[in-house]
Chain A
Amino acid sequence: MSDLPFLLQGAVVTASVSLVAIVLGVPLGLALAIVRWRRVPLLSPLVALYVSVIRATPAITLALLIFFGSPSLGIVLGAAPAAVLTLLINTSAFNCEIWRAALIDFPRDQVEAARAFGMPPRLMFRRVVLPQVWRTSLPALVNEMTLLIKASPALAVIGIVDLTRAASRIGAATYKPLPPFLAATAIYMLLVMLFVAAQRYVERRVRQRFEMA
């Protein structure tokens, strides 16, 4: 099957675009969550609006808007940057809510104790809040990563030959779509299972190292 290399190329595209968006999206989500948590004036309601609208937007609509709509704003984006930007914007909104939930649940007494000791806020965040909050957020963050991978086929409409588009191209050329689609399904499942397995591994290590009571 000479189609397999083409399919695998698509898989590589899916994996790389997703990975970049994930790696950038987790810290971006945290930054947005902090803006909301600390109620930064002017920015906080903007972030709330951004998160509300983006979480309601289908990935495919967002991709079409960013790629085909951006020239109207004078911004010219290639297909690959537009693809990464779409996934990044999408995942940052969800990550913001994940981080925010963990931040809100964070015990106030620890924050107050740190303040009573005169700890500067940035240091407190780095050494008290963050180490605990990322552990709480981890399952939800990984879940969001799998959701991102499952949303990535939306990029096919802006010309990115990802795994789904590659499978669909093969099907359209051979008029036998079932084999490439089933193969693509298997590859996606592998990717998702990889993330879930990685999450379980990290959770186990974290429990071993930090389990206190």
Chain B
Amino acid sequence: MAGVIAAGPEARAAASPRRRRRRAGEVLIEAFLRLNGFIAIAAIALIFVFLFKEGVQAFHTVAPLRFVQGTELDFDNVPQVVRMWQPVGQNPKYSILPLICGSFLVALPATLLATLFGVACGIYLAEVAGRRTREVVKPAIELIAGIPSIVVGFFCLATLATLVQQVLGTEFRLNAFVGALGVSFVIVPVVATMTDDALRAVPDELRQGAHALGANRWETIARVVVPAGASGIVASILLGMGRALGETMIVLMATGNAAQVTLNPFASVRTMTATIAAELGAVPQGGEQYRALFLVGSILFTITFLINLAAEMTVARMRRRLSL
């Protein structure tokens, strides 16, 4: 005992430079990691600031109302209200309505299709498939998520568009519906994997309880498991819709790119994303149209941000409820 006490100060003296060095290393590493964290956050924050800074400048030369609708003199010199996006010409028109219209005309049908297919896939993965099948089907669905959207866009343009026209007899070969089909293909894995996660988070006791009350497998799924995981499924659909609104290459290649205000899902449309992609390369930098495109980008960013936020809040609510 005495020996141990005697050795104490010596040992501490020997260890202390090493410990101090270790402390210094510790502080350095933490500082380095913190720096990385701040750089990453700064880069991300910059996107936000920069996009809106450029976008708001569009209002310096163009009255805000002109982004809703413009006026044009018709043949009798009577001013007519026009809702067009036509940024090149003597009287440039910047109405964003046809673009928003186009975006939703693609995104809503795509989300609807992806909900049907994706939720069914999720239910299949979580509740119906056996362990063996699941081990094969799940990676296969995840693999879909890895297919670059340009590939899907190319497939829509080269093969699917002709097929759809032959089957449905649409007026235009490239239209919103072809785009929606392509986009839904890309977001099905998003919906499917998140639905799967949500359903698997539902505690087994609920299933056992349902079975004990005499419910069969489908009744258990439809009346117990799916309602319990509903917020997760809703979140997956919202996230899918955010992706659908932001999808660029597929809609650029497959929707025909005609900016018009329409509610016909088989019309050629032009989305916000496709407008930016098609025009940014050709505009003079810092000009009116350049800023208008940034404004379109800011609006797109805001819409998707809000949708993603809603999805996140829904997931958070589900976590709270399931942990109770």
Answer whether A and B are interacting partners: no
